[in-house]
A and B are shown apart, each in its own frame.
Chain A
Amino acid sequence: MADDTLEWHAVTKASELEEQEPEHARIGDTLICVVRLEDGIFAINDVCSHEFAQLSEGFVDGEEIECPLHQATFNLKTGEATAPPADDPVETYPVKIEDDQVYVGFKKQA
């Protein structure tokens, strides 16, 4: 991934992320859900694609997060909707860690 196309935003400390315990962050107007899984830290858009709800208040089971309102599930690595009522995926964001700081990458505005 060519880093120069991304703007990196600091969201949380890696050491503060417990495995499978989602955290939320806000970058500008965008709500982000950050989760540590067994094999890394992943970031997705925090808003359920079905109806407004914050996924970071939901339950992580394996690689999936379950929406707290209607039990739709999303894959944390791909953003794919894996159970109804959601059909559309949520956006995923690249993550990098430097000196315990977790950064989420947004595409630079043209």
Chain B
Amino acid sequence: MADPTSNQTFIVVGGGQAGGRAVEGIRKAGFDGTVILLAEEERAPYERPPLSKQVLTGEAEPDSAKLREDGWYREHGIDLRLATRAGRIDRARKRMVLADGRELAYDRLLLATGAQPKVPGLPGVELPGVHVLRDVADSLALRDAMRAGARVALVGGGYIGLEVAAAARKLGCDTTVLEAAPSLMRRQVAPELGDWYARLHRDHGADVRLEAEVARLLGSARVAGVELADGSRIDADLVVIGVGIRPNVELAMQAGLDADDGIEVDDQGRTSDPEIFAAGDVTRQPTPYADGKIRLESWQNAQNQALVAGQAMAGATAVRHADLPWFWSDQHGINLQMVGMPTGPVRHVWRGDPAAGPGFTLFYLDDGGRLVGANAVDRPADIAAVRRMIERGVSPDPAQLADPDVSLKKLLKGQA
């Protein structure tokens, strides 16, 4: 890079996807001072979706998930410091104090500290053979343990648990899914669609148990099984806990920033300290699609909110983060995309016949008839039109929505 016009230093804490996108945003907005990216892992930023899919099955290696090639950081003048742990923030002196006691002066700071798997306080949860899945090391440890014939019990039937279940079946493991709720992916999809996925996983040989409340994990030297609240037992060589994540807010809270279940930010990623920004899983942000602030645990948010926050940090005023929430999951080769945030009572409209197999979409309309969400099962092309309909507040005719011969694009434009 040419000689910088700014002698300021921006520090980004967190080497996940959000940290990587934040430094990109900073440069994109024209900041040419010093940018330091602190990453706890030995790896440069990577994307997490493959960790519960292709990396787990051995179809891909972790390097394929890299956000950027290694040379990108140097080319963009990013001082990437791997295996570097943040200790605390000294806001009065504007110093980032590292865990080893060294200090880095900052002019502005961005926290992309992410989240970590929730681990319920079950007896036996500390036993060897109990896994979580969040980072590359977790994925490789699990892949190494999931040998053909191994008995794998998944605690939690959300999309991480179900993607691991699909990978486990592919690798020839004896697989049991334990979900406490009456249907799978309860936070993301309607019970009817959860039931469709329960059949999918059963058809692929998994034992799917609903309303299965785990009482404790069994075993002495290592985990040997799971005991449910009703007293039934499932033998297992491996137990994978997939019951959600909690945000890593310690650094922010210790510094006195507004934070509880996430660091509070505005729609530019600014925290309660105007010199400190935050982005990604760790934040609670406003959204046009819900009352109050929400935490978005998604690849989309780690990319787009972080790009906005990085640009805002560098002085861009026009950028705002207001994306319609969007998630996806791949299980047994079937692509599920989920868009929108249905709250309150909804009416369901199906397009395509779920009984005929994948290739259908479930729409959610609010009580005023407005489209507020959709789940597309192997119909990814529907999502782009649905997203625009939701953003524009369209109230489509349910009969036309249900008719696969009516183009969603024409419904969007009001031409159907």
Chain A residues within 8 Å of B, Cβ to Cβ: 20-21, 57-59, 61, 66, 68-71, 84-85
- Complex formed: what's the CA distance from A57 to B303 in Å? 23
- Complex formed: what's the CA distance from A22 to B385 in Å? 14
Kindly identify which residue among A21, A68, A84, A85 contacts B384, using a CB–CB cutoff of 8 Å: A68
What are 14 pairs between A and B in contact, CB < 8 Å?
A: A21-B409, A57-B380, A57-B381, A59-B381, A61-B384, A66-B384, A68-B380, A68-B383, A70-B299, A71-B300, A71-B384, A84-B21, A84-B304, A84-B307
Q: Do A71 and B381 touch (CB < 8 A)?
A: no
- Complex formed: what's the CA distance from A52 to B282 in Å? 30
Q: Do B326 and A59 touch (CB < 8 A)?
A: no
Q: Name the B residues within 8 Å of A69 (CB-CB).
A: 328, 335, 380
A-B pairs with CB below 8 Å: how many? 29
Known: A20-B409, A71-B326. A59 touches B384 (CB 8 A): yes
A65 CB to nearest B CB, Å = 10
A72 CB to nearest B CB, Å = 10
Q: Do A85 and B381 touch (CB < 8 A)?
A: no
Q: Name the A residues within 8 Å of B304 (CB-CB).
A: 84
Q: Looking at chain B's contact residues, is the secondary structure mostly helix, strand, loop, or mixed?
A: helix
Q: Which size bracket describes the interface of B in this complex? A: 10 to 19
Q: Of B381, B385, B388, which is in contact with the most chain A CB atoms at under 10 Å from its CB? A: B381
Give a binary string over B47-68; 1 marks a CB under 8 Å from any A CB, 0 the rest: 0000000000000000000000
A65 to chain B: closest residue by CB: B384
- Complex formed: what's the CA distance from A94 to B162 in Å? 45
Q: Name the B residues within 8 Å of A84 (CB-CB).
A: 21, 303-304, 307
Q: Of B300, B307, B385, B409, which is in contact with the most chain A CB atoms at under 10 Å from its CB? A: B409
Q: Name the A residues within 8 Å of B383 (CB-CB).
A: 68
Known: A20-B409, A71-B326. A58 touches B384 (CB 8 A): yes
Extra 16 A-B pairs, beta carbons < 8 Å, given A59-B385, A70-B299, A71-B384: A21-B409, A57-B381, A58-B381, A59-B384, A61-B388, A66-B384, A68-B380, A68-B381, A68-B384, A69-B335, A69-B380, A71-B300, A84-B21, A84-B303, A84-B307, A85-B303
B67 to chain A: closest residue by CB: A85
Q: Name the A residues within 8 Å of B335 (CB-CB).
A: 69
- Complex formed: what's the CA distance from A21 to B410 in Å? 11
- Complex formed: what's the CA distance from A86 to B384 in Å? 17
Q: Name the B residues within 8 Å of A70 (CB-CB).
A: 299
A57 CB to nearest B CB, Å = 5
Q: Name the A residues within 8 Å of B385 (CB-CB).
A: 59
Give a binary string over B379-397; 1 marks a CB under 8 Å from any A CB, 0 the rest: 0110111001000000000
